[in-house]
Amino acid sequence: MLNVIIFGAPGAGKGTQSKLLIEKYGLTHLSTGDILRNEISENTELGQHTKSIIEQGKLVPDDVICKIIEKKISEITETNGFMFDGFPRTVNQAKMLEDLLTKMNMSVAVVINLDVPREELVSRMLLRAKNEDRPDDNVETINKRFDEYENKTVPVADFYRLQNKLSEINGLGSIEDIFKRIESVVGKYLID
Ligand code: AMP
């Protein structure tokens, strides 16, 4: 089992790189952002409950996120491992993930921290707003999402740094070049 977390600020390229990683290593993609957007588009109770929080750029409460992850993990019976994308976003979520994986005799192998300067993040997100029509990619919400990231999510990097699991990756350059950097780290954790 190869469990990988892709970490980074909004707009760092987590979704793009996750897709390449799951293809290459046969991992199961667990993106809490994608799951929530899907719930909203299907107008489920969870979607109705979280829509306005997401549109304001705030984080969805930990207990809601943890239930989603627990449910998704328990539904998967066969996989090479999980690719966590956009989760954990708080230290509480990271602790919950650790407890959950320990119960299942698993652990997080590596956390890829995509490092991208703030100006580049903003311009990528504004471009994405045009291309993908995401309701949370507007200037006001983007700023709120950065605040949430700085205050609540950055400590998650420290949590994994202390466990020697954090790997810093330069997130600037072409998609292929960034992927090569990630591959060279993730490849080391593969067990035949
Ligand atoms: P993302 O696509 O990962 O940027 O997520 C979009 C939005 O969904 C975030 O701005 C949050 O409002 C919400 N969200 C996604 N993942 C989480 C999480 N792990 N914890 C709290 N909120 C989340």
Interval 106-134: pLDDT, tens: 999 999 999 999 999 988 988 888 888 78
Residue whose token pair is 């005799």: 105
Residue to mutate (ligand 1; options 5, 32, 58, 96; most atoms within 8 A of CB) = 32
Task: Show the low-confidence residues of the chain (pLDDT under 50).
Answer: 192
Rg over alpha carbons for the chain, rounded to the nearest Å, is 16
Q: How far apart are CA 20 and CA 26, in angstroms?
A: 10
3-class SS of residue 45:
helix
* DSSP symbol at 27: P
Taking the model in full, what pTM does it have? 0.95
Which tokens go with 124?
A: 């990528």
Asked if residue 113 lies in contact with residue 167, where contact means CB atoms within 8 angstroms, the answer is: yes
Q: How far apart are CA 100 and CA 4, in angstroms?
A: 15
Residue minimizing CA distance to atom 17 of ligand 1: 32
- What pLDDT was estimated at residue 130? 84
Asked if residue 58 lies in contact with residue 2, where contact means CB atoms within 8 angstroms, the answer is: no
- Spell out which residues line ligand 1, taking CB within 6 angstroms: 10, 32-33, 36, 53-54, 57-60, 65, 86-87, 89, 93, 136, 145
Ligand 1 mean position to 101 CA, how many Å?
Answer: 21
Interval 150-172: pLDDT, tens: 999 999 999 999 999 999 999 99
Displacement of CA 132 from its chain's centroid (Å) = 18
CA atoms 150, 9, 6, 74: torsion sign:
positive
Prior bond to 117 cis, omega within 30? no
* The one-letter amino acid at 114: L
- What pLDDT was estimated at residue 175? 97
Q: Could you identify the atom of ligand 1 that is nearest to the CA of residue 61?
A: 21
User: Sheet of 28-31: strands edge to edge?
Assistant: 28-31, 82-85, 4-8, 110-115, 166-170
Ligand 1 mean position to 145 CA, how many Å?
Answer: 9
Residue minimizing CA distance to atom 11 of ligand 1: 59
Phi, psi of 4, deg, nearest 5? -120, 140
